[in-house]
Amino acid sequence: MGNNLEKNQNIKSSRGNWTGHLGFILAAAGSAIGLGNIWKFPYITGDYGGGAFVLVYLICVVIVGLPLMIAELMIGRHSQKNPVGAFRKLHYQKTPWQITGWLGIASGFLILSFYSVVAGWALAYIFKSLVGFSGTSQHIQGEFIALVTHPSASIWWHTVFMALTIAIVIGGVQKGIERWSKILMPALFLILLGLMLYGLFFTHGGIQALTFLFKPDFHKLSAEGMLSALGHAFFTLSLGMGAMLTYGSYMRKNESIVRDAITVSILDTVIALMAGVAIFSLVFHYGMKPGQSVGLIFKTLPVLFAQTGPLISVPFFILLTFAALTSAISLLEVVVSYFIDEKNWSRVKATLILGGAIYLTGILSAVSMWTISFRGKQQGFLDIFDFITTNYMLPIGGLLTCLFTAWVMKEANKIEELGSKGFLYKGLIFFLRYITPIAVLLVILNGLKLLPFVDYK
Ligand code: PHE
Q: What is the pLDDT of residues 11-32, one digit of tens each?
A: 444 566 666 777 788 889 999 9
Query: pTM of the prediction?
Result: 0.92
CA of 227 to the centre of ligand 1 (A): 17
pLDDT for 456 beyond 80: no
Do 371 and 378 contact (CB within 8 A), yes or no?
A: yes
Q: Residue-wise over 382-408: b if at least 16 C-beta within 10 A, else e? A: bbbbbbebbbbbbbbbbbbbbbbbbee
pLDDT for 432 beyond 60: yes
For residues 112 and 385, what is the distance between their CA atoms, to the nearest angstrom?
10
For the segment 289-325, what is each residue's pLDDT rounded down to a tens digit? 898 888 899 998 898 888 888 888 898 899 899 899 9
Q: Candidates 1.20.1740.10, 3.30.70.20, 3.40.50.2020, 3.10.180.10; correct CATH number of 17-447?
A: 1.20.1740.10
Mutate to test the pocket of ligand 1, among 241, 320, 321, 330 (most ligand atoms within 8 A of CB): 330
CA of 304 to the centre of ligand 1 (A): 27
Percent of the chain with pLDDT over 90: 68
pLDDT, residue 12, reads 41
Mutate to test the pocket of ligand 1, among 331, 336, 393 (most ligand atoms within 8 A of CB): 331
Cα dihedral: 179, 71, 12, 322 (round 10)? -20
| Other CB atoms within 10 A of residue 24 CB | 23
For residues 107 and 101, what is the distance between their CA atoms, to the nearest angstrom?
10
Quickly state the pLDDT bin for 107 (edges 50, 70, 90).
very high
Quickly state the pLDDT bin for 402 (edges 50, 70, 90).
very high
Computed over every residue of the chain, the mean pLDDT equals 90
pLDDT for 85 beyond 80: yes
pLDDT, residue 1, reads 35
CA atoms within 13 A of residue 198's CA, in its CB half-sphere: 16
Atom of ligand 1 nearest to the CA of 330: 10
Q: Which candidate, 378, 391, 370, places its Cα nearest to that of 444?
A: 391
Quickly state the pLDDT bin for 2 (edges 50, 70, 90).
very low
Quickly state the pLDDT bin for 70 (edges 50, 70, 90).
very high
Residues 6+ apart with CB under 8 A from 53: 44, 45, 220, 221, 225, 228, 229
Nearest CA to ligand 1 atom 10: 238
For the segment 109-148, what is each residue's pLDDT rounded down to a tens digit? 999 999 999 999 999 999 999 998 888 888 898 999 999 9
pLDDT, residue 176, reads 57
pLDDT for 153 beyond 90: yes
**Cα-based distances in Å from 195 to 24, 43, 201, 279, 301:** 27, 17, 10, 8, 10
Overall size of the chain counted in residues: 457
Atom of ligand 1 nearest to the CA of 331: 10
Q: Which of 110-119, 131-140, 174-183, 240-249 has the lowest mean pLDDT?
A: 174-183
Whether residue 244 has its Cβ less than 6 Å from ligand 1: no
For residues 376 and 361, what is the distance between their CA atoms, to the nearest angstrom?
23
For the segment 279-289, what is each residue's pLDDT rounded down to a tens digit? 999 999 988 88
Radius of gyration (Cα) for the chain, nearest Å? 21
**Cα-based distances in Å from 419 to 83, 256, 258, 413:** 23, 8, 10, 10
Amino acid at 263: T
For residues 434 and 440, what is the distance between their CA atoms, to the nearest angstrom?
10
Quickly state the pLDDT bin for 4 (edges 50, 70, 90).
very low
pLDDT, residue 8, reads 42
What are phi and psi for residue 16, nearest 5 degrees? 90, 140
For residues 164 and 327, what is the distance between their CA atoms, to the nearest angstrom?
12
pLDDT for 241 beyond 50: yes
3-class DSSP state of 373: strand
Atom of ligand 1 nearest to the CA of 37: 4
Do 84 and 332 contact (CB within 8 A), yes or no?
A: no
CA of 237 to the centre of ligand 1 (A): 6
Atom of ligand 1 nearest to the CA of 39: 12
CA of 390 to the centre of ligand 1 (A): 10
Average pLDDT value for residue range 419-445: 90
Cα dihedral: 181, 184, 186, 187 (round 10)? 180
For the segment 25-54, what is each residue's pLDDT rounded down to a tens digit? 888 999 999 999 999 999 999 999 999 999
